[in-house]
Amino acid sequence: MCRLVSALPPPARARARITIGGMREERAAGPADLHLHSACSDGTEPPAAVCVAAHAAGMRTIALTDHDTTIGWDEAADAAASLGMTLLPGAEVSAKHRGRSVHVLAYLFDPAEPQLAAMMQRVREDRIGRAERLVGNLARDYDIAWEDVLAQRTGDATVGRPHIADALVAKGIVLSREEAFAEMLHPASPYYVAHYAPSPRDVVRAIARAGGVSVIAHPAGRGMLPIPVLEELVEAGLGGLEIDHRENTAPGRATLRELADAHGLIVTGSSDYHGSGKPNRIGENTTSAEMVERIIAAATGTEPVSP
Ligand code: AMP
Ligand code: FE
Ligand code: FE
Ligand code: ZN
């Protein structure tokens, strides 16, 4: 897993959408969780295991949204097909607004579209140097080396702070990812190093150019983007907002629902599952069948995998 690269045509794209009498088949027959991470980024399970866990949790439509990569798509597509689930291949694309991290979920984009692919590749590459520098800072005070972090990474997985957290756990320096983030990996920590990321506007545009649908992930957590910035993103082609997510505050959700209504945006709900790397459970928030259909109808980059 996490080693298959784009030489193969994505099966998701190869499978044609089935239409019967001109009507698209009914696909979202069951709950949908559209934000799941595998070990291709900072989740702890291979893509197929994420699909199995989602099926066991009762999901019938899922999206694999690893950070800045599509390398889990093939494995997830095969697993979803054999489980009889609908899969929306996706990614969680890193962006930055005034130094603040913004995550943009991208669904059903063309993984071969050069600009978006290059954007994600640049972020992935920069994440490696950034993590090395962060580990160098930690090594001033703790017994940790870059090799310890690499030992936590699966194949070509997108590197993130969770891999550093896992290395700190493996070395017995902290007990959990949570503790590592609270103690040494948060942005205000003296060890912290940021990674490069394009603006949310550039990311939204690139996703649209690649035929995908963009949805701002957990947009109402601490440090919500100002409404005028969100409105600029709508202008740039933003598809939707992930409103039901455990990190979104209640007042933030209310404000964003108004924004979504005013602009006819797609509204999603998701778990942001990371396996055992976070407490988030599959299906703790879900997306309505109507919204799943809107995403599928709006996308032109890749076909969903259908049962
Ligand atoms: P990075 O992409 O390297 O900046 O790391 C951010 C990632 O760390 C997010 O995608 C989360 O999955 C993860 N993360 C953030 N805070 C925590 C936490 N307190 N516990 C576990 N994982 C976290
Ligand atoms: Fe993550
Ligand atoms: Fe995120
Ligand atoms: Zn996520």
**Residue ranges per domain, the chain?**
11-121+196-298, 130-185
- Pick the closest to residue 37 from 242, 270, 296, 200 (CA basis): 270
Judge if the beta carbon of residue 261 lies within 6 A of ligand 1: no
Ligand 1 centroid to Cα of residue 161, in Å, is 6
Q: In this structure, which residues have their CB less than 5 angstroms from ion ligand 2? A: 42
- Residues of the chain above pLDDT 70, percent: 91
Higher pLDDT, 291 or 18: 291
Tokens of 79: 């697993």
- Pick the closest to residue 160 from 257, 236, 209, 92 (CA basis): 92
pLDDT band at residue 27 under the 50/70/90 scheme: low
Tokens of 267: 């509204």
0.75 cut: is pTM over it? yes
**Which residue puts its alpha carbon closest to atom 16 of ligand 1?**
181
Q: Which residues pair with 138 in a beta bridge?
A: none
Distance CA 1, CA 7 (A): 15
130-185 placed in CATH 1.10.150.650: yes
Judge if the beta carbon of residue 161 lies within 6 A of ligand 1: yes
- Cβ atoms within 10 A of the Cβ of 251, count? 10
Ligand 1 centroid to Cα of residue 137, in Å, is 18
Mean pLDDT of 59-81: 98
pLDDT for the residue numbered 166: 98
Tokens of 193: 């190093």
Ligand 3 centroid to Cα of residue 83, in Å, is 26
**Which residue puts its alpha carbon closest to atom 2 of ligand 1?**
160
How buried is 45 (Cβ within 10 angstroms: 0-12 exposed, 13-18 middle, 19+ buried)?
buried
Mean pLDDT of 149-171: 98
Q: Which residues pair with 101 in a beta bridge?
A: 96
User: Who's near 53: CB < 8 A, 6+ residues apart?
Assistant: 45, 273, 275, 282
Residue to probe by mutation, ligand 1, list 35, 42, 153, most atoms within 8 Å of CB: 42
The chain-wide mean pLDDT, for the chain, equals 92
pLDDT band at residue 222 under the 50/70/90 scheme: confident
Judge if the beta carbon of residue 187 lies within 6 A of ligand 1: no
- DSSP E strands, 17-115: 19-20, 23-24, 32-36, 61-67, 86-97, 100-107
pLDDT band at residue 3 under the 50/70/90 scheme: low
CATH class name, domain 11-121+196-298:
alpha beta
Mean pLDDT of 185-191: 97
